[in-house]
């Protein structure tokens, strides 16, 4: 059971760090500028639901997609690790959210129906980093002795991540007023550091698995 708990904690923390809803708060408020709290909760609920569907799609059909394109899981770990490292370095570097916010139009008219999926669900909440994380976790399930329990742990972690994200977005004004821009910037930099280390870990294990698979070093595939 400890293995499944570890898998849950790892998936939850990694996915939450990748999504980083704190950094999405200013963008969310800009997109829904002039809207009331009920509209904020509605759009937050829709965007998290869309992101949840995307996450489950790649979780259940990720291996099939990899099989169709002939991509081994070790390569997914390596490329996913590179993506995570890049995202981590960007989060750790000085924030450019102010510049990006200037190019985002304010919410108006029928735009509310569109922003829940694009850009909130994809790519802000579910982008390349989240896809790489979920595909990387499928390799963990594949090599686990308790496949079903591991899959359940990952599913629960995804649902928990989206629920926390929904709460932060639904009450974005209150959260932003409590934490403030400086707090969000500090939290984003800390998250960026840990995302970079997660990416480095994926690269290391991916290289090790690839070397073992192709006989460069001795030992069974990871």
Taking only the tens place, the pLDDT of each residue in 9-57 is 888 988 998 888 887 888 888 888 888 889 999 999 999 999 999 999 9
Q: What is the pTM of this model?
A: 0.75
- Max mean pLDDT range (141-145, 152-156, 175-179): 152-156
Distance CA(143)–CA(149), nearest Å, equals 12
Higher pLDDT, residue 94 or 192:
192
Which range has the worst mean pLDDT, 40-44, 71-75, 139-143?
Answer: 139-143
State the pLDDT at residue 143. 56
Contact 46, 192 (CB under 8 A): no
State the pLDDT at residue 142. 60
- pLDDT, tens digit, 9 for 90 and up, residues 147-175: 788 888 899 999 999 999 999 999 998 88
140 Cβ contact partners less than 8 Å away, ≥ 6 residues apart: 7, 150
Contact 30, 172 (CB under 8 A): no
Q: Burial, 153: exposed, middle or buried (Cβ in 10 Å; 0-12, 13-18, 19+)?
A: buried
Mean pLDDT across the chain:
80
């Amino acid at each position: 059971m400890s293995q499944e708990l570890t898998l849950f904690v790892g998936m939850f923390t990694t996915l939450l760090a990748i999504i980083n809803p704190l950094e999405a708060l200013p963008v969310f408020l800009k997109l829904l500028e002039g809207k009331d709290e009920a509209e904020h909760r509605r759009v937050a609920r829709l965007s998290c639901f869309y992101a949840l569907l995307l996450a489950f799609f790649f979780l259940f059909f990720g291996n099939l997609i990899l099989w169709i394109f002939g991509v081994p899981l070790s390569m997914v770990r390596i490329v996913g690790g590179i993506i995570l490292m890049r995202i981590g370095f960007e989060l750790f570097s000085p924030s450019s959210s102010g510049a990006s916010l200037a190019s985002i139009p304010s919410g108006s008219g029928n735009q509310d129906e569109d922003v829940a999926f694009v850009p909130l669900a994809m790519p802000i909440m579910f982008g390349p980093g989240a896809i790489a994380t979920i595909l990387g976790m499928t390799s963990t399930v594949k090599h686990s002795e308790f496949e079903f329990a591991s899959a359940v742990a990952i599913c629960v972690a995804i649902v928990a991540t989206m629920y926390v994200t929904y709460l932060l977005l639904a009450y974005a004004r209150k959260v932003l007023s409590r934490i403030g821009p400086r707090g969000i910037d500090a939290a984003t930099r800390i998250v960026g550091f840990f995302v970079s280390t997660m990416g480095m870990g994926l690269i290391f294990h991916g290289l090790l698995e690839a070397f073992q698979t192709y006989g460069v070093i001795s030992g069974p595939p990871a």
